[in-house]
Amino acid sequence: MTAQAQPTTSSTGSSLDAHVLCEIRNHVGHLTLNRPAGLNALTLDMVRGLQRALDAWALDDQVNAVVLRGAGPKGFCAGGDIRSLYDSYKNGDTLHETFFDEEYALDLCIHHYRKPVLALMDGFTLGGGMGLAQGADVRVVTERSRLGMPETGIGYFPDVGGSYFLPRIPGELGIYLGVSGVQIQAADALYCGLADWFVESSKLPTLDERLDNLGWSNAPLKDLQGLLAKLGAQTLEEPPLATLRPAIDHFFGLPDVPSMLEQLRQVNVADSQEWAHKTADLLAARSPLAMAVTLEMLRRGRHLSLEQCFAMELHLDRQWFAHGDLIEGVRALLIDKDKQPRWNPPTLQALEPAQVEQFFEGLRRPEHCHARP
């Protein structure tokens, strides 16, 4: 969901026309998020525009596949426009509730879409951008890609299906990404299974040209894969997370966040000390409540279906604006910009288990779901 964006404005036509561009070329429906100044952060109008196009193209025999991208070189989509959601809650409106309902429905639609979807994750792909891309059949990264679920840094939790796709990354890598909120680049995205192909950004115009001239078979997904096989690669050498994997699996497999932080602080082995202490500092700056809820959510999500994960996230959302740390996080980062959030509680030591458990009341605990010893 995360993005630091300004409220929607439109100088030409409606906000829908300005901020979601739709075009069909050679049996491909092209959808472009067109708010480059705001790193293509999603507004409710944009969500509705994307949904409307996808619904129409699902029934259009002239459309074989969909390509989803962001305008400009800096970002595919840096998340949801959290400033507008903050304003909605503060003003007593319901926009923030409607936004999550419809955003999650859109993400779920992409996961189950009847035609192949190709997501070009060029540039920042954070929060809500990951929600759009992770449901796609073909996920492409470039050397400019920066992927992440940085929600705990603003007092929130990884939503938009994060409770489904993060814990399904091998080992504890997804727990690490979700709790810490770190961003990764192309090699790690491929290593984690959060992307399928690497294509150099300089070859994206060639990709478009070949899409415009592609001779389609009765297997559109195979056609897309064949095209990408000539332009890109499915692995890159020396992904940093591969080296860190044993340490990450150990620390982020611990029972709770305080244990993780404590043990990270104690590392004094030269080859991992810098990473461990840097990670500890990062966790210490995040919302204690958000990290603890995230850990519980991800461990539950490992045993839930996609639909159940979205339902769990919506259950948390319904409580989070009033009882979570998001409003304070947005205040500190976007409104007052003092970058001194007053988390509640302020420390992990002050966080009671009951404060985490209350958010999950009414949800059945999945079988086999428990913290690792």
| Residues ≥6 apart with Cβ < 8 Å to 124 | 39, 74, 75, 76, 77, 78, 146
The model scores a pTM over 0.85? yes
Q: Is 150 exposed, middle or buried (0-12, 13-18, 19+ CB in 10 A)?
A: buried
Nearest 10 degrees: CA dihedral of 66, 68, 71, 75?
Answer: -160
Give the model confidence (pLDDT) of 297-328 as tens digits.
999 999 999 999 999 999 999 999 999 999 99
Catalytic residues: 80, 128, 151, 159
Whole-number percent of the chain with pLDDT over 70:
94
Question: What is the model's pLDDT at position 364?
Answer: 82
SS3 content of the chain, % helix, strand, coil (to 5): 50, 10, 40
Q: Are 183 and 194 in contact (CB under 8 A)?
A: no
Q: How would residue 365 be classed by pLDDT, with cut points 50, 70 and 90?
A: confident
- Domain spans in the chain, listed from the N-terminal domain onward: 15-148+197-229, 240-360
Q: How far is CA 226 from CA 177, 210, 233, 238, in A?
A: 31, 11, 12, 25
- Residue 32: strand pairing partners: 21, 69
Give the model confidence (pLDDT) of 149-208 as tens digits.
999 999 999 999 999 999 999 999 999 999 999 999 999 999 999 999 999 999 999 999
Give the model confidence (pLDDT) of 60-103 as tens digits.
999 999 999 999 999 999 999 999 999 999 999 999 999 999 99
Question: What is the model's pLDDT at position 151?
Answer: 98
Question: What is the model's pLDDT at position 23?
Answer: 97
Give the model confidence (pLDDT) of 114-152 as tens digits.
999 999 999 999 999 999 999 999 999 999 999 999 999
| Residues ≥6 apart with Cβ < 8 Å to 25 | 211, 212
Question: What is the model's pLDDT at position 371?
Answer: 46
**Range 15-148+197-229: architecture per CATH:** Alpha-Beta Complex (3.90)
The Cβ-side half-sphere exposure at 288, using a 13 Å CA radius, reads 17
Question: What is the model's pLDDT at position 10?
Answer: 30
Question: What is the model's pLDDT at position 17?
Answer: 57
Distance, CA of 211 to CA of 227 (rounded, Å): 8
Q: Are 187 and 244 in contact (CB under 8 A)?
A: no
